[in-house]
Protein backbone atom coordinates (compact mmCIF):
# COMPACT_ATOMS: atom_id res chain seq x y z
CA UNK A 1 0.00 0.00 0.00
CA UNK A 2 1.03 3.58 -0.45
CA UNK A 3 -0.19 7.07 -1.09
CA UNK A 4 -0.74 8.33 -4.62
CA UNK A 5 -2.04 11.72 -3.59
CA UNK A 6 -3.37 13.57 -0.59
CA UNK A 7 -5.96 16.25 -0.09
CA UNK A 8 -5.48 19.00 2.48
CA UNK A 9 -8.49 20.00 4.59
CA UNK A 10 -10.72 21.79 3.96
CA UNK A 11 -11.45 20.45 0.49
CA UNK A 12 -14.43 20.51 -1.79
CA UNK A 13 -16.14 17.31 -2.94
CA UNK A 14 -15.49 18.43 -6.54
CA UNK A 15 -11.74 18.61 -5.90
CA UNK A 16 -11.79 15.16 -4.28
CA UNK A 17 -13.72 13.79 -7.25
CA UNK A 18 -11.26 15.37 -9.70
CA UNK A 19 -8.30 13.91 -7.80
CA UNK A 20 -9.86 10.44 -7.79
CA UNK A 21 -10.44 10.65 -11.55
CA UNK A 22 -6.84 11.75 -11.98
CA UNK A 23 -5.53 8.75 -10.04
CA UNK A 24 -7.80 6.41 -11.97
CA UNK A 25 -6.46 7.82 -15.24
CA UNK A 26 -2.90 7.16 -14.05
CA UNK A 27 -3.62 3.53 -13.21
CA UNK A 28 -5.78 2.90 -16.26
CA UNK A 29 -5.29 -0.77 -17.09
CA UNK A 30 -6.15 -0.21 -20.76
CA UNK A 31 -2.91 1.66 -21.30
CA UNK A 32 -4.76 4.36 -23.20
CA UNK A 33 -2.87 7.15 -21.48
CA UNK A 34 0.01 8.83 -23.28
CA UNK A 35 1.96 8.74 -20.02
CA UNK A 36 4.75 6.12 -19.92
CA UNK A 37 4.67 3.41 -17.26
CA UNK A 38 7.57 5.11 -15.45
CA UNK A 39 5.30 8.12 -14.97
CA UNK A 40 8.13 10.46 -16.01
CA UNK A 41 7.86 12.63 -19.11
CA UNK A 42 10.68 14.83 -20.37
CA UNK A 43 9.82 17.58 -22.85
CA UNK A 44 12.52 20.12 -23.57
CA UNK A 45 13.77 21.31 -20.17
CA UNK A 46 10.54 20.24 -18.42
CA UNK A 47 10.37 16.94 -16.50
CA UNK A 48 6.95 15.83 -15.27
CA UNK A 49 6.77 13.02 -12.69
CA UNK A 50 3.13 11.96 -12.59
CA UNK A 51 3.74 9.43 -9.80
CA UNK A 52 5.19 12.03 -7.42
CA UNK A 53 3.07 14.85 -8.89
CA UNK A 54 6.17 16.99 -9.31
CA UNK A 55 7.42 19.16 -12.16
CA UNK A 56 10.97 20.33 -12.77
CA UNK A 57 12.32 22.97 -15.13
CA UNK A 58 15.94 21.97 -15.48
CA UNK A 59 16.99 21.19 -11.90
CA UNK A 60 14.50 23.61 -10.34
CA UNK A 61 11.29 22.21 -8.90
CA UNK A 62 8.24 24.14 -10.08
CA UNK A 63 5.50 24.44 -7.48
CA UNK A 64 2.09 23.68 -8.96
CA UNK A 65 -1.24 23.66 -7.18
CA UNK A 66 -3.18 20.39 -7.23
CA UNK A 67 -5.49 21.75 -9.90
CA UNK A 68 -2.61 23.02 -12.02
CA UNK A 69 -0.94 19.62 -11.88
CA UNK A 70 -4.19 17.81 -12.71
CA UNK A 71 -4.69 20.13 -15.68
CA UNK A 72 -1.13 19.56 -16.91
CA UNK A 73 -1.47 15.81 -16.45
CA UNK A 74 -4.71 15.78 -18.43
CA UNK A 75 -3.15 17.69 -21.33
CA UNK A 76 -0.07 15.44 -21.35
CA UNK A 77 -2.21 12.28 -21.28
CA UNK A 78 -3.25 13.01 -24.88
CA UNK A 79 -0.36 15.11 -26.11
CA UNK A 80 -0.93 16.54 -29.55
CA UNK A 81 -4.72 16.20 -29.24
CA UNK A 82 -6.83 19.19 -28.24
CA UNK A 83 -9.17 19.29 -25.26
CA UNK A 84 -12.15 21.63 -25.32
CA UNK A 85 -12.63 23.93 -22.36
CA UNK A 86 -15.77 21.95 -21.46
CA UNK A 87 -13.81 18.67 -21.45
CA UNK A 88 -11.18 20.23 -19.22
CA UNK A 89 -13.82 21.55 -16.81
CA UNK A 90 -15.39 18.12 -16.64
CA UNK A 91 -12.15 16.14 -16.26
CA UNK A 92 -10.22 18.43 -13.91
CA UNK A 93 -12.92 20.23 -11.94
CA UNK A 94 -15.67 17.63 -12.17
CA UNK A 95 -18.17 20.09 -13.60
CA UNK A 96 -20.89 18.50 -15.68
CA UNK A 97 -22.16 20.23 -18.84
CA UNK A 98 -25.44 20.95 -17.03
CA UNK A 99 -23.58 23.31 -14.70
CA UNK A 100 -23.20 26.57 -16.52
CA UNK A 101 -19.66 27.49 -15.51
CA UNK A 102 -17.63 30.25 -17.11
CA UNK A 103 -15.00 28.47 -19.19
CA UNK A 104 -12.60 31.36 -18.65
CA UNK A 105 -11.54 29.63 -15.42
CA UNK A 106 -9.69 27.22 -17.73
CA UNK A 107 -8.00 30.13 -19.51
CA UNK A 108 -6.81 31.53 -16.18
CA UNK A 109 -5.28 28.21 -15.10
CA UNK A 110 -3.66 27.70 -18.52
CA UNK A 111 -2.16 31.18 -18.22
CA UNK A 112 -0.75 30.34 -14.78
CA UNK A 113 0.71 27.06 -16.04
CA UNK A 114 2.32 28.82 -18.98
CA UNK A 115 3.82 31.44 -16.65
CA UNK A 116 5.41 28.68 -14.58
CA UNK A 117 6.54 26.34 -17.39
CA UNK A 118 7.14 28.29 -20.58
CA UNK A 119 10.33 30.19 -21.41
CA UNK A 120 8.16 32.89 -23.01
CA UNK A 121 4.53 32.54 -21.82
CA UNK A 122 3.30 34.97 -24.49
CA UNK A 123 4.67 32.62 -27.19
CA UNK A 124 4.02 29.17 -25.69
CA UNK A 125 5.75 26.09 -27.04
CA UNK A 126 4.45 23.46 -24.60
CA UNK A 127 0.81 24.31 -23.87
CA UNK A 128 -0.70 25.41 -27.15
CA UNK A 129 -4.02 27.02 -28.02
CA UNK A 130 -6.19 25.05 -30.43
CA UNK A 131 -8.10 27.90 -32.04
CA UNK A 132 -11.84 27.49 -31.70
CA UNK A 133 -11.39 24.32 -29.62
CA UNK A 134 -9.36 24.70 -26.46
CA UNK A 135 -5.84 23.64 -25.52
CA UNK A 136 -3.33 20.90 -26.16
CA UNK A 137 0.10 19.88 -24.97
CA UNK A 138 2.71 19.71 -27.73
CA UNK A 139 3.02 16.25 -29.23
CA UNK A 140 5.53 14.15 -27.32
CA UNK A 141 7.83 12.21 -29.64
CA UNK A 142 9.05 8.99 -28.08
CA UNK A 143 12.72 7.99 -28.48
CA UNK A 144 13.14 6.23 -31.83
CA UNK A 145 9.85 7.60 -33.20
CA UNK A 146 9.99 9.54 -36.43
CA UNK A 147 8.26 12.98 -36.42
What are the angstrom distances between the C-alpha of 39 and each of 51, 72, 98, 100?
A: 6, 13, 33, 34
Higher pLDDT, 35 or 145: 35
The model's pTM = 0.73
Q: How many Å apart are CA 81 and CA 115, to the nearest integer? A: 22
**Does 75 have pLDDT greater than 80?**
yes
Residues 6+ apart with CB under 8 A from 88: 71, 74, 106, 134, 135
Percent of the chain past pLDDT 90, that is, above it, reads: 44
Average model confidence (pLDDT) for the chain?
A: 82
pLDDT tier at 41, thresholds 50, 70, 90: confident
- Lowest-pLDDT choice from 38-47, 89-98, 138-147: 138-147
Report, in angstroms and rounded to the nearest whole number, the Rg of the chain calculated over CA atoms.
Answer: 15
Q: How many Å apart are CA 14 and CA 90, to the nearest integer? A: 10
Assign domain 13-28+35-137 to a CATH class: mainly alpha
Peptide bond into 87 cis (omega under 30): no
Q: pLDDT tens digits for 84-141? A: 998 999 888 888 777 777 888 999 999 999 999 999 999 999 999 999 899 999 977 6
Q: What is the mean pLDDT of residues 39-63?
A: 91
Is the alpha carbon torsion for 55, 60, 65, 68 positive or negative? negative
Q: What is the mean pLDDT of residues 17-36?
A: 62
pLDDT of 141 reads 60
pLDDT tier at 1, thresholds 50, 70, 90: very low
Total residues belonging to the chain: 147
pLDDT of 39 reads 81
Amino acid sequence: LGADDYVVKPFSPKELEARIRSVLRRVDKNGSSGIPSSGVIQVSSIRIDTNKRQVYKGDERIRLTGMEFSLLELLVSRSGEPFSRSEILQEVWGYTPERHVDTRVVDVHISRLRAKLEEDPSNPELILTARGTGYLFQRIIEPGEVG
